[in-house]
Chain A
Amino acid sequence: MNLRPDLAVIAARVQPAARALDIGCGDGALMAALAEKGCDARGMEIDPELVERCVSRGLSVVQGDADRDLADYPDKAFDYAILSQTLQTAARPDRMLDELLRVGRQAFVSFPNFAHWRMRAALALGGRMPVTRHLPVSWYETQNIHHMTVSDFRDLIAAMGVKCERAWFFAGDREIGASLANLRAEHAVFELSR
């Protein structure tokens, strides 16, 4: 199975037999990979059709809105709370991060980097909100209400006292190094703890 590269690094990092909550689990691709490793994987997804697809492949997924329904889970219910490509849709990304590190001992967060050079160029030269392969939706219909950059994210977690255990950066579907990541990375994955 071909896992998206950000999901692949998360799947590789999660310890076997761990308990993981995949928030915004989509069609359950990561959950299935985690289940294969013997993890107890649970999911939350807002789209009922995707939930139905997950349940019909035997995954435990709850239809819910991460902004509201993470509150249902007790403290440290999971070894990992995973939020892939969803933080930028949260009403309050800072509170969402707090919730992730409340329900999970560790968290993985992946997000598109709005400071990638192609974005900067589109905005600086084109003068319009960028539409790219990773952010393919126009500004008026996107669910991404809090665009951020790798540097923004680092600032936020530092201000929140959240520790970055490790970070991965991607351009296209390739992993790239950390140097000039804020300029070169199209999206990023952070492993966090508190």
Chain B
Amino acid sequence: MAPAIATKLYPLPSPLLLDGGQALAGVEVAYETYGELAPDKGNAILVCHALTGDQYVASRHPVTGKPGWWERMVGPGKPIDTDRFHVICANVIGGCMGSTGPASAASDGRPYAMRFPVITIRDMVRAQIALLDGLGIERLHAVVGGSMGGMQALSLAANFPDRAARVLAIATTARHSAQNIAFHEVGRQAVMADPDWQGGDYYGSGHAPDKGLSVARMAAHITYLSESGLTEKFGRNLQDRDSKTFGFDADFQVESYLRYQGSGFTQRFDANSYLFITRAMDYFDIAEEHGGLLAKAFAGSPARFCLVSFDSDWLYPTAESRHVVHALNAAGAAVSFVELSAPHGHDSFLLDVPALDRVVKGFIG
């Protein structure tokens, strides 16, 4: 069941037409806003969250009590300055923090579970656009996102080119690679192999597939880090013990860390949401939506683009950003691109990388 969460809710006035061919009725979008909207509504910035993110970009998470996931970037006096900009962040559809997702009630009053339609990144963006329509925001000052958030930013630029003046896509890609899909499939299979998954109908049963979801998160978490980062942080250090136990406890610090990440994740995330959102990412291929040519997706785009990659990110490596830059150049779009050096792997976009702060601040203007 969807947790009762204090957040702003926007009920879409009409059914959401999905790439899968269905029309999803009764969609609600949960969102948070920060900073004042200017009278001309010209200072709005849409921040799109990543796979396991949510609308609490710059405010305390209601379940975990932790600070917002991008407080280092969004807030008063921060690179995305809420003293100047009206920042909107919405939970994606398919998610589990208040927007309509598999845990939401279908028309029969029971949770959708696996009856929820398979959605795409573009469907998520359609819901965001519907929210902007509802808020009366015709043109964003900028759309910003990292990882899956960057996919949404690029998708918004490709499908709704007049809705954002600036597009900032960080540590992301225009298509999911075989390796990206492969890692996600491992995660999904871990969830579905957990007997508590019960074909997705675990809501109200008192048993959720926490073990499977935890394994999925552990595997995924490794892909967000870098080998050197892991080595530096943990090395082969043992966890609270002087020697190996010759057993299968978490002897090593890195094991203990991953288990902690995995179990913490199950406290705040719905396993079915994890299935649907990873599926949406795997289906993501902007070029495919535009006749196979990525440049065509951005032809005539009036927006300014900025892409940022990190040298230690092997999940969405620099080559993926370059691929997008190439297409934007071919389309004649105004594009900036920089590969920043940071040790944290894919997660660099969330962590302390001062050069990223400067790029974001400068590009947002």
Contacts and interface: CB of A to CB of B under 8 A. Distances in A.
A56 B362 contact: yes
Given A55-B338, A59-B336, A77 B329 contact: yes
Interface in B333-357: 334-341, 355
Nearest to A77: B332
B365 interface: yes
Contacts of A56: 358-359, 361-363
Contacts of A54: 336
Interface in A50-92: 51-52, 54-64, 72-74, 77
B365 A52 contact: no
Interface size class of A (residues with CB under 8 A): 20 to 34
B293 interface: no
A74 B326 CA distance: 10
A175 interface: no
Given A48-B341, A56-B361, A72 B334 contact: no
B286 interface: no
Contact of B329 (A48, A51, A72): A72
Given A52-B358, A55-B363, A60 B330 contact: no
A52 B359 contact: yes
A40 interface: yes
Interface of A, secondary structure class, is: mixed
B338 A58 contact: no
A42 interface: yes
Contact of A40 (B334, B339, B361, B362): B334
Interface in B101-153: none
B72 interface: no
A14 B326 CA distance: 25
Contacts of A63: 337-339
B338 A60 contact: no
B165 interface: no
B334 A51 contact: no
Interface in B158-195: none
A134 B340 CA distance: 30
A84 to B, nearest CB: 19
B306 interface: yes
Across chains A and B, which 3 residue pairs bring their CB atoms closest together, nearest first? A56-B362, A51-B338, A62-B337
Interface of A: 40, 42, 48-49, 51-52, 54-64, 72-74, 77
Given A55-B306, A63-B338, A73-B330, 9 more contacts: A42-B334, A48-B338, A48-B339, A52-B355, A56-B358, A56-B363, A60-B336, A61-B338, A74-B330
